């Protein structure tokens, strides 16, 4: 399933590409159980972790960013949430069951932190019948720059990676949002004149400049693969 939204940057109310996908949240809610245990990999400051934790028995968040984990721990304390724990760990290297006293998880989530290594570790950490829920960068993200993210997947490539790990797709869709400016110069002013975000540097910045020079007035700010897969029962 594919869903593309094109909107004009002049209407700030339509700027939704920083939000958690409602589809992803719906995929979670339809299988969440108060008896389930989950791990949120690449959790950052716990944005998605705190979204899912109230519906689960316990949730663990891991990320390699120490500052992000410290911020998540502080927020959990401030909110008085005692059903979450956060740890500094490399999601591509660590054994996810290291953080629990039981054998496997009911749910593994990865919000914009996905690689073949993470898919493999998620599959290993799930109980049979457990779910893997994810949002991943799709190959069209920032496509106008001509430089694809090293973390991006094509839909076909992601399906193959999930299948290779023993995970059966229950849902997989692409959600895309494109900013459309009135003119190429408006796009240039918004993204190239002044301080640019971290992702827009080097060859990607140069590629966007070429896009503007050719008269381009759009930027794909969000193209995500949203999905859920289940580990086959033994």
Q: pTM for this one?
A: 0.91
Distance CA 108, CA 41 (A): 7
| Confidence (pLDDT) at 150 | 86
Distance CA 215, CA 211 (A): 7
Closest alpha carbon to 132 in 4, 39, 34, 10: 39
The answer to whether residues 89 and 63 touch, using CB atoms and an 8 Å cutoff, is yes
The answer to whether residues 62 and 91 touch, using CB atoms and an 8 Å cutoff, is yes
Q: Which two tokens stand for residue 145?
A: 């720059």
- Domains in the chain, CATH or no CATH each: 15-176+223-231 (3.40.50.150)
User: Rounded to 5 degrees, what are φ and ψ at 22?
Assistant: -60, -30
Cα dihedral 169, 227, 204, 191 in deg (nearest 10): 160
234 residues of the chain, pLDDT tens digit each: 667 666 565 544 445 556 789 999 999 999 999 999 999 999 999 999 999 999 999 999 999 999 999 999 999 999 999 999 999 999 999 999 999 877 899 999 999 999 999 999 999 999 999 999 999 999 999 999 999 988 899 999 999 999 999 999 999 999 999 999 999 999 999 899 988 888 898 999 999 999 999 999 999 999 999 999 999 876
Cα-Cα-Cα-Cα dihedral sign, residues 193, 197, 203, 208:
negative
Give the CA distances from residue 141 to residues 40, 205, 221, in Å, rounded to whole numbers and listed in that order.
23, 14, 6
227 bridge partner residues: 134, 172
Q: Which two tokens stand for residue 133?
A: 């829920």
Q: Which two tokens stand for residue 189?
A: 């002013």
The answer to whether residues 155 and 174 touch, using CB atoms and an 8 Å cutoff, is yes
User: Rounded to 5 degrees, what are φ and ψ at 151?
Assistant: -100, 0
Quick one: how many helices (H) and strands (E) in the chain? 7, 8
Secondary structure (DSSP) of 121-160: HHHHHEEEEEEEEEEEEBTTTTGGGT---TT-B-HHHHHH
Distance CA 9, CA 116 (A): 34
User: Rounded to 5 degrees, what are φ and ψ at 124?
Assistant: -70, -30
């Amino acid at each position: 399933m594919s869903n593309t939204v094109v909107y004009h940057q002049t209407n700030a109310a339509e700027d939704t590409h920083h939000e958690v996908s409602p589809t992803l949240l719906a995929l979670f809610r339809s299988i969440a159980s108060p008896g389930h245990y989950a791990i949120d990999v690449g959790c950052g400051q716990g944005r998605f972790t705190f979204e899912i934790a109230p519906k689960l028995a316990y949730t663990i968040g891991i990320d390699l960013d120490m500052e992000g984990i410290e911020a998540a721990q502080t927020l959990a304390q401030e909110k008085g949430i005692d059903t979450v724990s956060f740890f500094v760990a490399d999601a591509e290297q660590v054994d996810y069951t290291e953080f629990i006293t039981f054998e496997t998880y009911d749910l593994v989530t990865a919000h914009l932190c996905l690689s073949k290594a993470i898919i493999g570790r998620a599959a290993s950490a799930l109980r049979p019948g457990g779910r893997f829920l994810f949002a991943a960068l799709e190959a069209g993200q920032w496509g106008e720059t001509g430089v694809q993210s090293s973390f991006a997947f094509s839909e076909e490539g992601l399906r193959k990676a999930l299948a290779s790990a023993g995970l059966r797709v229950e849902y997989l869709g692409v959600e895309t949002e494109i900013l459309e400016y009135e003119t190429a110069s408006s796009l240039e002013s918004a993204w190239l004149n002044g301080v640019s975000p971290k992702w827009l540097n080097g060859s990607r910045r140069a590629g966007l400049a070429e896009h503007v020079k050719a008269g381009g007035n759009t930027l794909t700010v969000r193209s995500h693969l949203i999905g859920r897969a289940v580990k086959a029962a033994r």
